[in-house]
Structure 1
Amino acid sequence: MSHFLNSNFLLENKYSQELYHDYASKMPIIDYHNHLPPELIANNTAFKNLTQVWIDGDHYKWRAMRTLGINEKYITGNASDKDKFLKWAETVPFTMRNPLYHWTHLELQRYFGITELLTSATASSIYDQVNEQLKGSSFKTQGLLNTMNVDFLCTTEDPTDTLIHHQKIATSDFKTKVSTAFRPDNAIHIDAISFNNYIEKLSEVAGVNITSFDTLKEALNNRILHFHNNGCRIADHGLSYMYAFEFTEAGVNTILKKKLDNKVLNTDEINSFKSAVLMFLSTKYHEFKWVQQFHLGALRDNNTRMLDQLGPNTGWDSIGDWLQAENLSKFLNKLDGANQLCKTIIYNLNPRDNEVFASMIGNFNDGSLRGKVQFGSGWWFLDQKDGMIKQLNALSNIGLISCFIGMLTDSRSFLSFPRHEYFRRILCNLFGNEIQNGELPNEMEWVGKMIQDICYNNAKNYFNI
């Protein structure tokens, strides 16, 4: 029996171990999609305690605690930071076979050198040990990123963001390159209650009075230019499914004016508007030579009672079951037909659709660029061992795993970067097992180079870092 979380964790044979230790582990990290607060990076913020750096804002942990019957007081409520941590520690032993169990102990080991299991019995001691370490300069935000050898990371900002924190980072001596991704979802979701208020804010920031579809496009173009001038080369969208419905410019103009007059829109009008804005944005991304990302398939804000109390992104989302293929094909085909399809990454949240996404990218990889259209890594509910393996196998079976741009954290936590290690170990074990079984040749130098490409080199080239 192997010791828990030893140096060969998840590596089942000598080939897997060689691939990981000699090839994958030494590669820097490119984290091209996350939700880290850039202000904390710019100010090299120190955390007062382990709860603040590890539990605050982590809805993965919150969902587990709620499932165990932990009162909301100890999750997002007014309990002390230490009491919140103690309740998390109480939860951890019950998370076995959930990725949280692995992530928790990987993070304690990699950042703080703690190899004890986190339980109620060890909680106070671990809390005190980590809090003492957090007083050191190497445990501020920039030091935590340096510890994980993060070469490049990309946060995610709304078009109305000033990007002042990214500007501060860009002029500092921080060695990790920090960029931003343009996330214009608020300008697309015309059915949102807050849409009109958002348009007012966008008007002010962009310096354009938005009263029509043309002025909305002008405002978005202004913000794209602002982001581009501040180093942005990536856009991101979180959508239930791709919008590829019929529209006319005049029709969309009428729809927007109707919304701004606080009139109710029907489903066809909503879909037409979203399709038009999304198509406009994608043509601009092509013009500016950006990479566009589409995270598809989340059913968000399911619990309206708790949403009203706590707001979005607090743990009330799940996997959706929409049909994805037809609209995704129409959208990509329209851009491709106009020669306006830029580098594109599509992420799937429903595992039943893995093969759909893996086959879809092959329709638009036209030989112009290596891996131009990517099937993104397992994310959110699928960024665990089983989800990663299924995504990797679907891509291998239908596309070229050798062109894959690898893992990302999609996280709000500065302690989440061992997820790259988790992915790399799983990746190396897949290849190592097939070498051992005679399904792949024992050509370690070639396979090792492929592993390094997936872990780092492919993303570096894809994003022109």
Structure 2
Amino acid sequence: MKLNSKFSEELFLTNETGSDLYHKYAEHMPIIDYHCHISPKAMYENREFEDLGEMWLEGDHYKWRAMRTFGIDEKYITGNETSFHDKYLAFAKVLPKMVGNPIFIWCALELKRYFGIDEPLTEDNAEEIYQKTKALIKEKHMTRQWCMEHSNVKLVSTTEDPIDDLRYHKLLKAEYKGGVRVITAFRPDKAMFLELDSFDDYLNKLSEVSGCEINDFRSMLLALQNRLKYFKDVTGTTVSDDGIPHFKWEDYTEEEIECIFRKARRNEALTEKEVDKYQSAFLVEMGRLYNKEGYVMQLHIGTYLDANRTGVRKVGQSTGFDCTDDQCAVTSVGEILNRLTELGELPKTLLYPLDGTKIENWAVLAAGFCDNGTVAKVQLAAPWWFNDQQYGIDRQFRSCANLYPVALSVGMLTDSRSFISYPRHELYRRVFCNYLGELCKRGEYFGTEDNLREIIEDICFNNANRFFGFGVES
């Protein structure tokens, strides 16, 4: 039996046309990473990485989650007393067993693209690869900024709360001389989750930073609008982001919303229907503000947050204990889009459904709200979170091209906290070019090479640049 012993540059490219398309047109296209969670503070401070363990295991809940499935002790995953070297060795021991898992491919791509290593990482060669990569980190001064520039990233959008002062964005804008433009997405979730005990304290902070006294729902919206303006003034952003874990639409009146808002500020108990009414009103009104201020509305749909609450209490939130939910109905999000359409205030919108088994339904919904004057006004966004691997990406192309023109897609993102996760764009591009090659091979697509080149370059870079109005030069 003959197995590949090294990384193959034909990864996911199973037909000649797809391979040609990838290597000629997609391979060297620059990156717009329009949604991620990297730290602007870390980017500004631009510290050189300590080692490969820090690169891979600092804040990467994908790897943490996988390591737990192998029964690895938490001290080798998130433990503060364990060195990155020892965490790396624990991870290297199980990586060869992650057959079929995207983590195996992501790590292979990262070893190849940042260190030129094309052999598989195993328990046996883990120390040798550790020392080699550590030496290269020092030799090439692999800082946070170096990794982004090395990956040909032209723009990155972090994600910040409306009360953030954007201090590090200001410093980057003033002092960073590299080739990566840094903006931020506006993420107002804490103003939507009024059922949480922290809601009143949060509004007090929002009132302080916005300069608006918040006495009611309308004045809270004014405060948020002020912060939208601030975010755009500081970074030039046109990106917003709303998380909808288990949203259910409920019709409402203004009087009802003001009554619910007052109850929440008094920390009184709210019914499930009252929470649903408030969140329905909140998302509609934020959509109106996004439209008015020239933002794209991103809706991340269907997360089962903190599923393992015992794990969250021990380790913290966003550490690998979130799951996929199937309770957020297409009709509920459709009601938001419909209400905004009726008002004539529907902004450009990206839908990120986490439940990949219903992806076709969401593609149909998106197509139903496109209209004259704006290309792909509402669209299915990149395969997100648990779907951002070869199977999920390929599934989305194959199922949704029947329902929504994939040529209009704004392409891939990292949704990552890691500064070396940009090969995920490469993975996406490989899968897409292979898909196009299969269509050509079967005779389902016939035309000129220029047609395909334009589609590939649009999905890799141009569509996102146009959709968000970034104006980035390639």
Q: How far did residue 344 of structure 1 move?
A: 0.4
**Are 1:147 and 2:147 an aligned pair?**
no
Q: Does structure 2 conserve the Cα–Cα contact (< 8 Å) formed by 1:243 and 1:331? A: no
Q: How does 1:124-163 map to 2 (within 5 A)?
A: 124-136=127-139, 138-163=141-166
In structure 2, C-alpha distance between the alignment counterparts of 1:315 and 1:341, rounded to whole Å? 34
In structure 2, C-alpha distance between the alignment counterparts of 1:357 and 1:137, rounded to whole Å? 45
Aligned to 1:95: 98
In structure 1, C-alpha distance between the alignment counterparts of 2:270 and 2:148, rounded to whole Å? 46
Q: Does structure 2 conserve the Cα–Cα contact (< 8 Å) formed by 1:242 and 1:331? A: no
Aligned to 2:108: 105
- Which is further off, 81-90 or 137-146? 137-146
The one-letter code matched in structure 1 to 2:32 is: I
- Which is further off, 155-164 or 434-443? 434-443
Q: How far did residue 438 of structure 1 move?
A: 1.9
Give CA-to-partner distance per residue, 1:93-132, whole Å, 9 cap, x none: 1111111111111111101111221111111111122222
Q: How far did residue 137 of structure 1 move?
A: 5.3
Aligned to 1:14: 16
Secondary structure of the 1:397 match is coil
Q: Does structure 2 conserve the Cα–Cα contact (< 8 Å) formed by 1:44 and 1:142? A: yes
Q: Does structure 1 conserve the Cα–Cα contact (< 8 Å) formed by 2:7 and 2:119? A: no
Secondary structure of the 2:47 match is coil
1:323–1:282 CA distance, 2 compared to 1 (3 A): closer
Secondary structure of the 2:398 match is helix
Instruction: List, as ranges, runs of 4+ consecutive aligned residues in structure 1 with deviation greater than 3 Å.
Output: 1-4, 241-244
Q: How far did residue 138 of structure 1 move?
A: 4.7
The one-letter code matched in structure 1 to 2:187 is: R
CA RMSD of aligned residues (A): 1.5
Secondary structure of the 1:294 match is strand
Q: Does structure 2 conserve the Cα–Cα contact (< 8 Å) formed by 1:30 and 1:153? A: yes
Identity of aligned residues (%): 38
In structure 2, C-alpha distance between the alignment counterparts of 1:200 and 1:362, rounded to whole Å? 40
Secondary structure of the 1:399 match is coil
**Are 1:214 and 2:241 an aligned pair?**
no
Q: How does 1:229-244 map to 2 (within 5 A)?
A: 229-230=233-234, 231-242=236-247, 244=249
The one-letter code matched in structure 1 to 2:269 is: V
Aligned to 1:204: 208
Unpaired stretches in structure 1, ≥5 consecutive residues? none
Q: How far did residue 44 of structure 1 move?
A: 2.1
Q: Does structure 2 conserve the Cα–Cα contact (< 8 Å) formed by 1:233 and 1:289? A: yes
Q: How far did residue 324 of structure 1 move?
A: 1.8
1:262–1:246 CA distance, 2 compared to 1 (3 A): same
Q: Does structure 1 conserve the Cα–Cα contact (< 8 Å) formed by 2:340 and 2:346? A: yes
The one-letter code matched in structure 2 to 1:366 is: D
In structure 1, C-alpha distance between the alignment counterparts of 2:197 and 2:125, rounded to whole Å? 46
Match of 2:417 among 402, 412, 420: 412
Aligned to 2:334: 329
In structure 2, C-alpha distance between the alignment counterparts of 1:182 and 1:374, rounded to whole Å? 19
Give CA-to-partner distance per residue, 1:54-109, whole Å, 9 cap, x none: 21111110111110010001101122221111101011011111111111111111
Q: TM-score, normalised by structure 1?
A: 0.97
Q: TM-score, normalised by structure 2?
A: 0.95
The one-letter code matched in structure 2 to 1:401 is: V
Q: How does 1:359-438 map to 2 (within 5 A)?
A: 359-438=364-443
In structure 2, C-alpha distance between the alignment counterparts of 1:235 and 1:442, rounded to whole Å? 37
Q: Does structure 1 conserve the Cα–Cα contact (< 8 Å) formed by 2:296 and 2:347? A: yes
Q: How does 1:244-259 map to 2 (within 5 A)?
A: 244-259=249-264
Q: Does structure 2 conserve the Cα–Cα contact (< 8 Å) formed by 1:358 and 1:394? A: no
